[in-house]
Amino acid sequence: ENLGEVRWAADATCLQPRGKATLRVGDHAIVVVNPKDGAVKGEFPFASMKAAFTLPPTEKSQPAEAATLLLAASVSASKPPGKITSKLMQDAFKKASLALTLNDKYSKATPCPGTSGTLATAVSTQLSTLAKVANRSLLKGGKDPMSFKSAISSLPYIKATLGASQGNLHLIDIGILFLKPLVFLPCESIASIDCGRAGAGNCSSFDLVVEMERPWDTSDDDKPAKPPAFEFSNIRKDELEGVQKFVRDVLLPCRAKLRRELAEKKGEPVAVDEDSDDEDDDYEAASSSEEDSDDSSLEDSEAGDDRGDETESNDERDDEPAS
């Protein structure tokens, strides 16, 4: 009932939710179903989508190749029953966005319905048009003016570690995204950003700690879980100044703008984002003594995602490049 009339459909290789799937694009949402039995694997409302991003692979040698299409979205899932934990809230952000693999054999060989290209070359334009969101490229040589460029490599990402996995960290005006594991953190839901170990002179790297607003109301819980946080660690110290400047000059102003727009849409009083200056100081001068309290829960969360993929991963692993 959330789909509306089906306007476009195609089979594709998904990174999130993982495995081969059929995409059904309707008037209001994209529904992802299992091609074998039709079971729904995920629903992605257009109203929660922010933009479509074409991302490079995590292999350092191929930054100009289109590897992943991310339809970045805010959390739209309903609050689950039972106790709301930090892990559940982290998973909600990880699973909010739809991501397709573009550089596997299937995508390169399969025609994209309604176009003259393949899924690899044309699905980004097709889906961004249907969802009515901007189609943005974060590949090497891309001209996206609102994305961060590395001070070391000039690439549109920096290397970082999330949990036990190293991947590409992209900073953009509307949020923060990481691959792999895949996660998109919309800027209007970011509560705070801290640069851990930034002031330690003997450290060659720093951490970017992003605390998010809770995606659901937990005020009725006896002991509400702490807000979900994501720690991107082992970022080269040479990137610190550029990261601080981008957060201060691009990401935080965009957050204030989007929050004003959301408040106006809801008919709420428009609050001045008075904490921006304070948060600038917080993330630029974060103490190196911060406790690394979220690593274990992040790693547990990733393990949980992997266990859920086991029924669909065999033929995909043959097609998907190693990370």
Among 244, 279, 249, 246, CA closest to 147: 246
What pLDDT, on a 0 to 100 scale, did the predictor assign at position 293?
37
SS3 136: strand
What pLDDT, on a 0 to 100 scale, did the predictor assign at position 198?
60
**What is the C-alpha to C-alpha distance for residues 178 and 161, in angstroms, rounded to an integer?**
9
Tell me the residue type at 86.
S
pTM: 0.81
What pLDDT, on a 0 to 100 scale, did the predictor assign at position 62?
79
What pLDDT, on a 0 to 100 scale, did the predictor assign at position 196?
74
What pLDDT, on a 0 to 100 scale, did the predictor assign at position 317?
38
List the alpha helices (DSSP H) in the chain. Answer: 86-94, 105-109, 119-131, 240-246, 252-266, 276-284, 295-308, 314-319
What pLDDT, on a 0 to 100 scale, did the predictor assign at position 201?
64
User: What does the pLDDT profile of the chain (323 residues) look like in tens digits?
Assistant: 567 788 999 999 999 999 999 999 998 999 999 999 989 999 999 999 999 999 999 876 678 888 999 999 999 999 998 889 999 999 999 999 999 999 999 999 999 999 999 999 999 999 999 999 999 999 987 778 899 999 888 889 999 999 989 999 999 999 999 998 899 999 999 999 988 776 556 778 899 999 999 999 888 777 888 999 999 999 999 999 999 999 999 999 999 999 998 888 888 776 555 444 444 444 444 433 343 433 333 333 333 333 333 333 334 334 444 43
What is the sign, positive or negative, of the torsion defined by CA atoms of 59, 63, 67, 69?
positive
Q: Which residue has the tokens 């590949």?
A: 139
